[in-house]
Amino acid sequence: PAPGAAKPGAPQVESPAERLARLFGRAEDEFPPDWDEETKRKHREAKRLARSLARDILLYHRDKVERGLKEGNLPELIGEEIRKSWEFYKQKVPPDILQSTTYFKDALNEILGKGKKIFV
């Protein structure tokens, strides 16, 4: 293989920039091309808020999150924290975005669930 190329079967390693973009929601937008800038801005804000709330849960309840991942009962262990964050999210995000997206669940799965589909 070429220098720097992954060997077949080797796990893919993302660059620090790719990891930051993924973790902080600054990856390339995947919005429909016909959306206006205001709509895109509202969706970016909703995604950013969802990710921020998930990171806060992880920051303040890391032990519970780790235990829940290990024991397989993460939603039950941090259910109250998730409910509080969801209520805050609902107050800040426009109803049409709440009803048409899964940004909050996606952030929980990616940040708290470490990429696993735990929150459905």
For 36-92, what is each residue's pLDDT tens digit?
Answer: 999 999 999 999 999 999 999 999 999 999 999 999 999 999 999 999 999 999 999
How do the domains of the chain map onto residue ranges? 36-112
Using the CB atoms, write b or e for 27-63: b if 16+ within 10 Å: eeeeeeeeeeeeeeeebeebbebbbbbbeebbeebee
pTM score, two decimals? 0.75
Q: Do 107 and 58 meet the contact criterion of CB atoms below 8 Å apart?
A: no
Count Cα atoms within 13 angstroms, Cβ side, for 5.
Answer: 5
Residue 88: other Cβ atoms inside 10 A: 13
- 29-43 pLDDT tens trace: 689 999 999 999 999
